[in-house]
Structure 1
Amino acid sequence: MINMILCGGSGTRLWPLSRTMLPKQFVRLFNNRSLFQDTVLRNQSVCSHTFVVSNNEQFFLAVDQLGQISSASDQFLLEPVGRNTAPAIALACMAIVADKNADDLVLVTTSDHLVKDQSAYEAAVLKAKALAEQNNLVTFGIKPTYPEVGFGYIEANGNDVSSFKEKPDAVTAQSYIDQGNYYWNSGMFCFKAGVFLEELKQYAPEMYQACLDAMPKDGCNNEIRIDLDAMKAIPEDSIDYAVMEKSQKVKVVPCDMGWSDLGSFDALYDEVKQPGLDNAVLARLEDSPEPICIDSKDNLIVARERQIALVDVEDLLVVDTSDAILISKKGSSQKVKNVVAQIKKQSPELTEIHRLAFRPWGSYEVLVNTEGYKVKRIIVKPDGRLSLQKHFHRNEHWIVVSGTATVTVDDKRCLVRPNESTYIKMGQTHRLENEGKIDLVMIEVQVGEYTGEDDIVRIEDVYGR
């Protein structure tokens, strides 16, 4: 069985922890691992290998985090633009059918959910596998623990699906709980790749054909990239609307596996809170200072570097990052998406990227960002290579702290060693590389009227950006 992991989401409801360039699934929340890494590890006991569906920007994050847990993915499918879950699953299934067998079983999971009961999870997957082998499309229904209005519901009679329900209001959600045969729609599925494609062809033929047209004509390798125009031509829809709510082959496996979609800071509070402690504290760095709480209780505190102190407050969500702080009442964290919408208008970079940003070649951290100049600390991994690029609005001064930099400026190439520097004028074509065996650490000073990350013209890039 193949674990197909969908990891293209943006996770805006967990801003400022989650950003476009480092969404929720790649943030290290528990045990210094990301939810994506936990998903891979969780499914290794029930699946033979992994198939990751991602967008181009998150591809390198997935590759990097797979390497950190000593796991390698057999295949990636990279979408240049998202078209919802049905096309993502269809394209991946087409690749599986072309490369392997239409009868191969696929376990579709999201990359950003939490499962605490591994034994119950494995038992549910085995039940789903047995149903899928009988040519059914199987979904997983989570036993609800409270009347959640943010989830869709599945009405079930044993393993038979009676109906799918949209996100209800509070009264309707409570009625579902009272009836006892309604389950949260988990967004996880199990089926044969060929059976899913047959059902998609029957109930969403336009989408099926557009996906077929978008598949590479030269075969499917371990890194499948879909053309932008072909991807845009695919109708956008979820697997639920396109197939599951129409098919006559749908089954459900009711389960209770300690599942959470961690879709809000309220949900995160429920997972972090420990019995006997007044507050729930999630320290994102090992050396983060312990929060000081005086006559304060039932708060979620997400700390990073700064000292946080609370006095006489209750039921707050306090989330601290290097460039933004979120403070909200518990129960109101679903409104974070409204905050993100406003920030996109005022300071869009705050929704895109952290001060510490990860790239295929390493990382950079913004140390100073003010009018007229910006200072960064850049780390380039061994064999890392930035794109060949130029800027129209800034000059750059590079100072090597450790390691050795190979620098290309126009047609000249040279080595820059520790305590040495080089200067790149506005408009000059340049590239930075680390051909050594240790990390290259350097300080970059940008000077100019505009120092935004979008002032980059890439001429050549080994990472396909």
Structure 2
Amino acid sequence: MKVIILAGGGGSRLFPLSRTRFPKQFLKLNGEHSLLAQTILRFLPLVRPCDMVIVTNQEYIHHVRTELIAAKANEAHILLEPAARNTAPAVAFAARYCLDVLGCDANEILYVTPSDHIIRPLKIFNENLLQAIGLAKMGKIVTLGVQPGHPETGYGYIQAGEAFNSGFYVQSFREKPDQETAESYLAAGNYYWNSGMFAFTIECFMSELKKYQLEIYAQAEAGWEQMRENFAEIPSISLDYAIAEKSEELVMLPITAEWNDIGSWDAIYDVLPKDRDANALQGDCIPIECTNTLILAHSRLIGGIGLEDILVVETDDVIVVAKKGESQKVKDLVTQLKERGRIEADEPRTLYYPWGYCTVLGIGLGYKMKKIVVNPGEMLSLQMHYHRSEHWIVISGTAKVIIGESEQLLHENESAFVPQNTIHRLENPGKLPLQLIEVQNGSYLGEDDSIRFSDKYGRQ
């Protein structure tokens, strides 16, 4: 069996923690590991790391590598999508990769899973997984459904039909319903939440792809290399729409493990531990006479007084306050931010790179101040800026600095100035993290004013 983990999505429902540049699969919401690392660890009792394929994109590759290290699964394969084309092309791309690069045969089982769900306990999930594999070996496309515990409007639904083995044939897929429709689904008893997880053999998947999505199938049949070259031309469509809603070989297996897709702040509240007043609290926060409330503090003290059924989420640049039950509308807030050209919709104050990370400390007319941390042995690209100068002040560690034709080492409390239109590079030659403050001055301070000449990590 090969486990295909889809980790390329952006997502906005957990704004302000989740942003385009740092989506929720990389967040640590319920423990020491990110949701992606938890997903990887979930499958290690059944498969080796080399039997996992993480499908992502170039922008997230360094995040994925970091999480593989955290999960001690460095041997897992990272498959980069050349373009964002939704889940059906992504899974077809992974299937072709398994055939052509990993040497799998057509009878290999593929288990496809999102990278940002919480599932527990692990023992029960493994039992469900083995059941799904058994159904897949019978030539079925297996989707996993979750028995609904309440009339949720944020999930799609699967209508179960006639029984088949340990599961059911699928009668229909239903879009996210309104409250009244969700209540009717719950009352009917044969509707399940759509988990987005699938199991099938490569042969079965390719056969259904040929039957219902001939254009994607033609690209996949051409081989992995050609599919990669032509990936941007493939239709963008989800696996649900492409195959699941059409296939006559589809069966649904109910999950008996606890499942949560962490698709809203209400869902976060549900999985976090509560105090005696049913408050879920993280960070530096003080509740006074609060009940049934979520407060997540990141960079400052949050005091809550007399709050009931309220969600408060704070980062260093955004505070979101919502009524419980209304958090699905966070995506509407993100839409408005994007329409207004607000950078907060896409970027948090801290951004992670292959060499380390940087945090914006302050910004104003003609200046921006950052804290930069460069990991040992890493370096930024050789670059130049047309519209700004930079001043570097070392807080700790050792910096190797190239500015124009000069090269020098900087230590704690030492600084360097980089004029406009000057080629420069920053490197950490030491054994400890390099920390410095960067002050930018200029008429334009956008990140697209960085002209790269060479880069250790192959970025353009």
TM-score interval, smaller chain: over 0.9
Amino acid of the residue matched to residue 100 of structure 1?
G
CA distance in 1, matches of 2:75, 2:252: 28
Residue from 168, 171, 177 that aligns with 2:177: 168
Give the corresponding residue for 2:269.
269
Mean alpha-carbon deviation: is it higher for 381-390 or for 56-65? Answer: 381-390
- Of residues 185, 197, 200, the one that matches 1:188 is 197
Deviates most, 247-256 or 157-166: 157-166
1:359 shift after superposition: 0.9
Please report how far the alpha carbon of residue 411 of structure 1 lies from its aligned counterpart in structure 2 after TM superposition: 4.0
Match of 1:444 among 423, 438, 444: 438
Consecutive unaligned residues of structure 2, counting only runs of 5 or more, are none
What is the Cα deviation at residue 226 of structure 1? 4.2
Q: Does residue 418 of the first structure (1) align with residue 427 of the second (2)? A: no
- With over 3 angstroms needed to count, the CA separation of the structure-2 counterparts of 1:231 and 1:450, relative to structure 1, is same
Identity of aligned residues (%): 43
Q: Match of 2:402, as an amino acid?
A: T
Return the alpha-carbon distance in structure 1 between the equivalents of residues 222 and 337 of structure 2: 38
**1:298-313 paired onto structure 2 within 5 Å:** 298-313=292-307
1:243 is matched with 243
- Quick check: 64-73 or 110-119, which moved more? 64-73
CA 275–46 in structure 1, closer or farther in 2 if over 3 Å, else same: farther
Say which of 146, 149, 153 aligns to 1:145: 149
Q: Is residue 2:329 matched to residue 1:349? A: no
The question of 1:200 aligning with 2:209 is answered: yes
Cα-to-partner distance string for 1:82-122 (whole Å, 9 max, x where unaligned): 11100000001100011222222111110111112212211
TM-score (ref. length: structure 2): 0.93
SS in 1 for 2:457: coil
Letter of the structure 2 residue corresponding to residue 203 of structure 1: Y
Cα deviations by residue, 1:308-343 (Å, 9 ceiling, x for unpaired): 111222111110101110011111111111111122
2:128 alignment partner in structure 1 = 124
Quote the residue 2:140 is aligned against. Answer: 136
Corresponding position of 2:258: 258
> Could you tell me which amino acid in structure 1 is paired with residue 53 of structure 2?
F
One-letter amino acid of the counterpart of residue 63, structure 1: R
**Contact 1:393 1:448 (C-alpha < 8 Å) held by counterparts:** yes
The CA deviation string for residues 239-276 of structure 1, in whole angstroms up to 9 with x for no partner, is: 11111122222122112211011111111111125263
**Structure 2 counterpart of 1:417, one-letter code:** H
Please give the residue correspondences for 1:359-374 in structure 2 after superposition, counting only pairs within 5 Å: 359-374=353-368
* Contact in 2 for aligned 1:97/1:194 (Cα 8 Å): no
Structure 1 SS opposite 2:134: helix
Per the alignment, residue 376 of structure 1 pairs with 370
| Residues 77/311 of structure 1: CA separation in 2 closer, same or farther (3 Å cut) | same
Alignment size in residue pairs: 450
Give the one of 187, 193, 209 matched to 1:178: 187
> Over the residues paired in the alignment, what is the CA RMSD in angstroms?
1.8
Q: Which moved more, 1:417-426 or 1:93-102?
A: 417-426
Give the CA deviation at 1:68.
1.9
**1:113 counterpart = 2:117:** yes
Given that 2:121 and 2:257 are in contact with CA atoms closer than 8 Å, whether structure 1 keeps it comes out as yes
- 2:31 counterpart of 1:7: no
The partner residue of 2:80 within 63, 78, 81 is 78
Cα pair 2:40 2:71 within 8 Å, conserved: no
Unaligned runs of 5+ in 1: 218-224, 284-288
Off by >6 Å, runs of 4+ in structure 1: none
Deviations 1:184-239 (A, max 9, x none): 1110011112321222122101122235568325xxxxxxx945xx3321101011
Q: Is the Cα–Cα contact under 8 Å of residues 399 and 428 in structure 2 kept in the other structure?
A: yes
Residues 327-362 of structure 1 show CA distances to partners (whole Å, capped at 9, x for unaligned) of: 111111111111111222335321222222211100
SS at match of 1:191: strand
Q: Deviations over 1:46-70 (max 9, x none)?
A: 2233210001111110101211232
Q: Distance in 2 between matches of 1:209 and 1:422?
A: 56
Secondary structure of the 2:422 match is coil
